[in-house]
Amino acid sequence: MHKSTEWTVLVIRVDRQEVTAVPSYGSARTRRRAALAAGVGNFMEWFDFAVYGFFAPTMGKVFFPDSSATVGLLSSLAVFGVAFFFRPIGGLVLGSLGDRRGRRFALSVSVVMMGATTTLIAALPSYQTAGMLAPVLLVVLRCLQGFSAGGEWTGSAAYLLEMTPGNRRGVYGSVISATAALATVAGSFSALVVESLVGADSLVSWGWRIPFLAAAPLALAGLYVRLRLAETPVFEELKAQGKVADKPLRSAGRKDLKPVLLTLAIAAVQGLGFYYLATYVVNYLSETVDLSRTTSLQLSAAGLLVYTALCPVAGAVSDRLGRRRVNLAGSVGYIVLGLPAFVLMGRGDVASVLLGMLLLIVPQSLVSVTTVVMLVELFPAATRSSGSATGFNIALAFVAGPGPFVASAIASATGSSVWPASYLVVVALVATVFLARHLPETAGRDIGAGDRPAEPDLVGEAR
């Protein structure tokens, strides 16, 4: 069905005149299709993230109607948070699947599961119709969503970048970061449109279901695109050499502890920064700064669109200057600019809010794109999906995911519009100290089927 892997001479070791054959990466059209396939599933994940967060108060009334408004909202948000704790489990299972059965197979499974569970949420009965069964089913579906999301980000990174030449990984990796932001904007605005067009009673009875139904065509489109793709040249090389791991999780735990810890550190900063931008800033502007919900959403969306545009720029910079330098620059940026950003946003005027968001957007673009690429470059091919998913999802579940809730608690406890930044600054500071000591430069590494990633003393394919 698919074209066989082409082979060409791309890597030459400098110290010896030794030529090594590695798989080529196909045409630019093939890489664009890979980027589309990676982007569709990632878009779905974050679209659902935005829609559920926006409709949390409404869903509290639908599934927890016997509670007060506050308890209903908190119950709905707790269900939202449950998905984070299933991400590591999904990452382990789907990551292992990607290492054993192939990157394309694992991505197809994740997009089907994600689309099916999101669509089923739209069909759930209310508490008035089904009693306690309704919230129980909601929890189950949210757990399955978290499970599928656990393999999506890292699986997309592995697939896309294994199809990409080394000197373009940053630019192509930016697709994953950018589509997350675009999906958040799209999800929030679709929810806002539904809310503005449907009356309050209709919103509770059926209006909230409309954005969730959009997952069905998105899932079908994503599955269609992914099934038409060939497997990556790297995984085909693993199969040809008999190096596909039977038990990749065990191998990753035994041999890849340092890359897993490094992934945990870079993902903690990247994930937390994005959750601040995508989730917390809207609530911060409306609840702490006292802007209207619509204005807060518009300003947040404007910031995320600027972030989307900066992602490929950050990717190109990392292709030229290296991942380590760019990632550390972003982490240090959060340490230095985090508090000033919230000082500016706390003023409440449009110019100050946008400038404050820009102080968060620039470092976030640097850490996000480099994190996507290093998820691939830090790990050997045989355990890449398992190892990267482990560190990434632990960071998101236990450090980044609770970020908006921690920031809200700090704002409530202190009454300050500035101190919510402290959690982000402290996490960035701790991670930077560790990364400055241990993070290697990975740009230019051979990410082929070797037992360990080859250091960038190779030229030609490198940079």
pLDDT at 174: 97
- Reference 157, options 385, 379, 323, 344; nearest CA is 385
Residue 12, strand partner residues: 19, 459
What is the arithmetic mean of pLDDT over 58-71? 74
Question: Residue 84: what pLDDT?
Answer: 82
pLDDT tens digits, one per residue of 276-311: 998 889 889 988 899 988 899 899 999 999 999 999
The larger pLDDT score, comparing residue 414 to residue 57, is at 414
Q: Per-residue pLDDT averaged across 232-259, rounded?
A: 83
More confident residue, 39 or 170: 170
pTM for this predicted structure = 0.86
Residue 126's closest CA among 53, 216, 203? Answer: 203
Residue 60 pLDDT > 60, yes or no?
yes
Contact 240, 382 (CB under 8 A): no
Q: Give the CA angle between residues 312, 315, 316 to the nearest 5°.
A: 90
- Which of 21-30, 120-129, 190-199, 216-225 is the most confident on average? 120-129
Asked if pLDDT for residue 67 goes beyond 70, the answer is: no
Q: Flag whether pLDDT at 46 surpasses 90.
A: no
Report the pLDDT value the prediction gives residue 245, as an integer from 0 to 100: 83
pLDDT at position 257 over 70: yes
The Cα 93–Cα 390 span in angstroms is 10
> pLDDT confidence of 366, banded at 50, 70, 90?
very high
- Banded model confidence at residue 71, pLDDT cuts 50, 70, 90: low
322-351 pLDDT, tens digit each: 999 999 999 999 999 999 999 999 999 999
Q: Structural domains in the chain?
A: 27-232 (1.20.1250.20), 247-440 (1.20.1250.20)
